Amino acid sequence: MVASLSLPRIMRVGRGAAEELGNVIAGLGLSRPLLVTDAYLVGSGAAERLAAALLKAGLSPRLFSDTVPDPTTDSLAPGLKALHDHEADSVIGFGGGSPMDTAKALALLGVQGGHMRDYKAPRVNLGPALPVIAVPTTAGSGSEATQFTVITDSGTDEKMLCLGPAFLPIAAVVDVELTMSMPSRLTADTGIDALTHAVEAYVSRKANPFSDGLALTAIGTIGRHLRPAYTDGSDVRAREAMMLAATQAGIAFSNSSVALVHGMSRPIGAHFHVAHGLSNAMLFPAVTAFSVHAAPGRYADCARALGAATATDADEVATGKLVDALRGLCHDLDVPTPRAHGIDQEAWTRLTPLMAEQALASGSPANNPAVPTADQIQDLYAGIYG
Ligand SMILES: [Fe+2]
C-alpha cells in the first residue's frame, strides 16, 4: 500500500513558539494576514498581543474575531467580507478548533467563492486557497496539522466534513503557553478529542505505518498526562505533553482518518450543541466496545500504549481492559451521559434516525474496523443516552 502523506510545510513547536509567528509569516513572503480568532481571546488580551507582535514583525494584520463555536456557513459571511476588504494574502487561525476551521474555510472561499456545501466530503479539495497559518490555543483538535475543516450548514444543521490539501495549514505554531489558561472542562473535552483522534487513526482502515507511530506515541502521552492536566491546570509538564500529543494525533488522523466515534459525534454536536470533545467522550467507550471484535490486535495495541493492559495480556483481555479504561477516564473527567447533560429524551429518540443517516453520510463509519448498519448506529445512540 502507498500511503499519501501531507504535513504543514513549517512547524514551530515548544514553549514561546508564538513569539516566532511574525517571522514565520514574513519568511513565507506573506504580509497581509487576516487574524481569525474569537471573542474569548480578544477579551483575554491574547489576540491583541499576537496582533502587536505581527505589527512589530513588519506585517499588516487585520483582526476578525466574530467566529462562533462549531462554525456555521452563516458565520463565514462577515469573515469573507473582512478578508476581501483587507485584501488579505493569508489567514491565521488563532484559537481552538473553531477559529482554525473558520480560517481554513475562509482561505478556500476567499479564492474560489461559492458555498461551503459545494466543498463537503467526499469531494477532495486540492485548492487553490490562501495559505493558512494555524496557532492552536487548546490541546485537542489537531486542526493545526490536518487537512480537514468542519463547518455546519446553517440551512440543514448538518456538520459538514470538508477535506483536502487546500485545508492543510502551510505553517503551524504550537505553543503550550497559549493553553495554560484553559478551564478544566475544556482541558478534558479537548484532551479526549485528541485521544479519540489517536485511537481512531490507529484502528482506521486507512491506517499506515507513518500514522501508526504518531498515534501510539500520542495515546501513551495522553494516558499519562490528561488526568494531571485536568486536575491541575498549572502543571506545565502535563500541559506541554498534551499539547504535543494533540498535534501528533492531528497529524496521525489527517494521514489516516477518524472513524465511527467522530462519525456519530458530529450529528450530536449539530443537533444538541454539545462540545465536540464531549460528544466524542459520551460515545467513546460504547463505540469501542462495539468495534473491538473486528480488530482485536489493533485495539490491544491501543490498550497497551494507554497503559491499560500489559504486554502479556492476550488481545481479547487487553481489548476488554481498553473499554474499561475509557469508561474510567470518562468517569474521572466527569463526562456526563446525554441525559445527565440535559438533552431531552424525546428529541434524542426522534432525531436518532436522522443522526444515524448523517453519521453514515459523512463517510467516517466506513473507516471503522466494524462497519455498522444504520440500525446498529441507532442502537448505539439509544444505548449511550443514559
Ligand atoms: Fe475531533
pLDDT in tens, 263-321: 999 999 999 999 999 999 999 999 999 999 999 999 999 999 999 999 999 999 999 99
Strands 90-95 and 159-163: unpaired
Distance 282 CA to ligand 1 centre (A): 13
User: What are 43's three cell numbers?
Assistant: 477579551
Distance 222 CA to ligand 1 centre (A): 15
What is residue 313's predicted lDDT score, i.e. its pLDDT? 98
Torsions phi, psi of 290, nearest 5?
-65, -30
Q: Please identify every residue whose CB atom is under 5 Å from ligand 1, which is an ion.
A: 193
The Cα–Cα gap between 138 and 174 comes to: 10
Give this prediction's pTM: 0.96
Average pLDDT over the chain, rounded to whole?
97
The Cα–Cα gap between 188 and 332 comes to: 10
Pick out the chain residues at pLDDT < 50.
none
What is residue 158's predicted lDDT score, i.e. its pLDDT? 87
Distance 341 CA to ligand 1 centre (A): 19
Distance 312 CA to ligand 1 centre (A): 31
What is residue 279's predicted lDDT score, i.e. its pLDDT? 98
Decide: 32 and 133 in contact? Cβ < 8 Å: no
What is residue 351's predicted lDDT score, i.e. its pLDDT? 98
Distance 196 CA to ligand 1 centre (A): 7
What is residue 385's predicted lDDT score, i.e. its pLDDT? 98
Beta bridge partners of 63: 35
Distance 310 CA to ligand 1 centre (A): 28
The Cα–Cα gap between 230 and 194 comes to: 14
What is residue 54's predicted lDDT score, i.e. its pLDDT? 97
Per-residue CA distances from 258 to 81, 221, 316, 368 (Å): 33, 19, 23, 8
Distance 48 CA to ligand 1 centre (A): 28
What is residue 159's predicted lDDT score, i.e. its pLDDT? 87
Write the CB contacts of 328 (distance below 8 Å, at least 6 apart in sequence). Answer: none
The Cα–Cα gap between 124 and 104 comes to: 14
